[in-house]
Every structure is written in C-alpha cells, then in structure tokens.
Chain A
Amino acid sequence: MLDLLAKFREIELEDFELEVKDLELWLESGGALPRLAVPQLKAAPALKPGKPTELMSVPFVPPVETYSGTITEVKLGATRGEGGTRGRSITIGGETCPAFYSFERPMLHPPVITLDVFDMEVPLSKAVKMHVKDVVGDPAAWAKLAVEKFGADMVTVHIISIDPLLKDAKPKEACKTVEKILQAVDVPLVIGGCGDPVKDADVFAEITETFAGERFLISSITRDMDVERCAKFVKKNGHVALSFTPMDLNLARELNRRLYDFLGREDIVMDLTTAALGYGLDYAFTNMERARLGGLMGDVELAHPMSSGTTNAWAAREAWLKMSAEWEPRELRGPLWEVTTALTLALAGVDLFMMMHPAAVKTLKDVTANLVSGKKADACKYLDWLSVKS
C-alpha cells in the first residue's frame, strides 16, 4: 500500500496510457456498445385517457444570471522583465460568476496550488512525512521537490524559526532562507511568518525590502499587526498582502478597508480562515461561498481572490491518527481528507490553495484542469455503470 501511494504519480501516468489504448481499441471495434434490450411489459394495462402516449417536449433553458461585480485580478511573482527574478508570474482572480459555473462563463484563471515548505523541523503526519523526509531541514531542497516532483505552481516558505518562543532567528537569517529558495526554484513565492504580530512585521519589512520587486504574497497581514506599517512596506517594495481574518466577513471587510488606504485592490488577496473537514469546514465553506457571492453582487470589499490554508486539513485527527482496521490505511485516508477539504473549498471559490500532500495536490490539479478544459461528457456510455462487473 505504501509503495502504491508512493508511486501514485507513476501509476496515474501508466493508467492514462492504458486508457488511451483502450479507447483506440474501442474505436476500432466500431464504437457500438451492446445495449440492454427493453422488452414490452407482458400484461401492460390499457392506457387511461389522459396518459401521454408520446414524449412531451419541454426545452431546458439554462438559468444564467448576470453579476454586477467582478473579482479583482491579482498577479503573484514577477519575471526579470517585470522587476523580479521568477520564471513566470501567475494571475489569480478575475471571476465573473460563482466557482466553476462554466454554463455561465468560462473561468479566466484556474485555481493555483502553493506547497508548504518549512525552514526548520516541524511535527508532520506520517502520510506527509514519508514524501518529504529527505528534505526536512533543507528548505531549498524541499522547495525543489515541491516544484519538480509534486508539480507545485508556487512555494510557500514558512519562516517559523523567527518565532521568539522557538529560535527567535533574526530578520537577516530569514532573508538568507528566502534567497536560497529563490535560487533553487523559479516559481512565485508566498512568504509565511510565525504568527507573532510584532516579529512577523519586522521580518516582513526586511524581506520585502531585500527582495523588492519580486511580488511575493506576504502571509499574512492581520488585524493585530501594525497594519499601516505593513501595508506601506508591501506597497513600496511591490509585493502583495494576504489579508487574514478569523472567519468573520465583517472583520474581513474592515481589514481590507484599512489596507485600501495604502494598497491598490490588485495588491490584496484575502484569507478567511480554513478549518479542516470535520472541524469547522462547514463554517469555512459557507463563509467563503458568501464572500464570493457578495463580491459578485458588487460588494467590492469582498471582491478579492481567496487563499486557503488547506494544510489545516491535517489538524483533523482523522487525517493522521492510526484508527481501527476498518478505517485504514491512514496513508490514503489522510490525503483524501486534504483533497476533500480542498475540493469543497474550490467549489466555494478559493483561488489559491496552500497544500501539503503530493497525492492531494495531484488530484486537485487534475480536477480543476478537467473543470476548465471545455470538454464534454460522453453521455452514451453513462448507463454502462449499471452492468459493471464487481
């Protein structure tokens, strides 16, 4: 089982090839599938008057709506030409309808995934650890693995060594870590702090200035920080602020309003707090869905792209705990917990996912790629499920 999961990506690729071959075979055989015969009822009673004898035709008209608002587009990362060093920049947001309502309008920018990298050892669940154990403690190698092997669009550097209650590392040391990661990968970066409002501001000040023009997403600016100071250094050095609030849309609006004094709307992404499946996902889902609908209805203070700390899924004990045999293996249950959390929030409108497990990342990428592909269902094969041999 462990091997199976470790080889998840490879298996997927092999399967894809197999499916293509199957499809070719199927096409060669003429494409006609055996259909179940539908004999007439033997003793069908005579039709009562009023019962239709022919199918009555009623057209379905798609219930398309118009929205007065548009979600702001925000560009993350900057190339050399744009004043940074990244291989490419990534734009999120720009929605003109609810998430994946492609019957209304196509999605301009599909969701983006940024993988977590920590600058020191942290407690990790077994299912996650098995994939990153060789790089824990070496953030540059970890970032490379995330991009090259796991397909991350971006990398989040969690600089937790600066925590006054942990190593209390200096801002200059944090810059060194960031520099190493910039050298190792060429994707846009998210810079994560330790959660201490004073220390984070000091470190963010140093990083934004040292790497001016890179258009990092600074994660995060909270209500208890010196919002004016933070917004100013983010703006001055050409970065983007992640406006973080604890699951309350009024607080989100209020913090965004404070940021507008210094930052453009296109410089703000919001994080409305992600709770794990089973541990408050319902609140997170509804809060985000309301924010997105509000933004589309013209509430500009909520019309920002949304980011989700989907890694929080692992805070649910059912994601990592060894349980009785009927719920095992946790090596599959854990990443499925993360995927389920991610997909639920994708349907609420999240634009940027901060994630952890490679299998969860792969699935979210596949699903969103399918959802924006513009491809159609193969309806004539649908009822085949009835006769699947078990």
Chain B
Amino acid sequence: MNEVPEIVPAISGLEMLDGLPVAYVELDVHGAITRANRLTRSLHSSHAGELIGKLAWELMPAEEQEQSRAAFRTAMETGEDPPVARRFIYTNSGSFRMHELHRNVIRDAGGQPAGMRVVTVDVTEAHKAYEEARRARLWLESVLASLADAVIVTDALGFIRTVNPAAEELFGWKGAEMTGKLIEEALPAPSHLPGDQTEFSFAMALNGHHRGAATLLDRERREVRVEIGASPIVDQDSGFTAGVVSVLRRAKDAA
C-alpha cells in the first residue's frame, strides 16, 4: 500500500494572528470578542475562554466604557472606520495600561457591518512622558500668567517667543500679535528719548544680567516708562545662551 504523503497545511489565519507582536481582537456586531490572538490573551488571562464573549468595553475603566460603546455603535451604523483612539485597558498585570486602538469595520457578504477588527499597541510609557511634559508646560504657563510684572521672552536673535498677560496689559498688544516679531519692532522706543542714563538694549542682556529703564511705545503709540530687569536664558544642557527673559514694570515715577 502506498503511503499517502502528509499534507503540510499553509499557515492558518489564526496562527498568523498568534504570531503578531501586537494585540489583535475581532468583535461581533454587538461588540463581543469573537477572536483574540496570543498576545491579547496573555494580556488579559491565560485562557481564551475567559476573553471570548466578553464585551470589549468591559476591559476598560467605567468612565471610558460609554464613550467606547458609542463609538462602536456609530461604526456599526455608518460602516465608517473609527479614528485611531487611546483607551485604558485592564490587563492581568493588575493595572490599566494605555493602548492605542487601530480599528476597521468587518463586513458581511452583503457589505453590511458585521463587527470590528482591533489592533492595539501599548503606549503607556509614551503617554506618561507626554502627560508629564504637558503638565510641566501648563504649570510654567500658569506661573508666567500669574506674575504681576510683565514678562517678555525672546530667542537669541530678539524674536519674541512668549508674552504674559501682564505684558499684554502694559502695552496693549495681544500675545499672538507680539509673538514672532523682533522686540524692537513690537515695542519701539520713541525717537525722542527723555534723557535716560542707561537705555535698555536687547544685546546687553545677552551678555549678562541687566537692570535699567526705558521708554517704549505701546499699541496706541503712547510712551510707557518702564523699569527692566533682563537676564540671558542659559540652556541647561549646553550652557549656551538661548535667549533673553525680560521683566518689566511701569516706572514708579511714571505711575
């Protein structure tokens, strides 16, 4: 009797999905998990049975469940792929991890939405770093906005980069109107100066701390007599000068 040669099956779809280095799930039209690859199973539990049949949003924190369910429902009604989104997902590490979700709609033979494919990538660390940087920026912006004195920050060429609300109030310009302009163009000195001993110049402050007085023109071309304290901004990494921060207040004799 001749031996029947063993037929080596091509790699199945499930095997291919199991080999993916990203988490992959398929949901039915109600949002229940119908398929989950190995990485997804390892994230949630060791048994596929515990995951299959669960609604996808049951893995999310309570406050995100409704939003996620609504997005899924919209996709099933419109047939449009939802945009990339970030959601917290509970994992068997005992904590929620931030995942980026890439989703598209599965269609039946008639072209109608029949479920969804979801690939998720753990972006917890990147999200934490982004949030920390965002909070640090907001904190510094809040500090700057809270100062009673006007603060104007320029780069090393004298282009205005940041202006606080007190500076807006002192000179009548909106921050957005001043940002990007050379400081002498945004806040020109009048052609006739009332006998200042040491007029302020931007270049002075690049070389070191500088205190002085100046008369500048506001938005209405009115003269504003100010006391200025300016310091070079020194880059912490290189020690090089990256710009100038100037603190201005209306001069007492001009009040």
* Binding partners A and B: no
A-to-B contact residues, CB < 8 Å? none
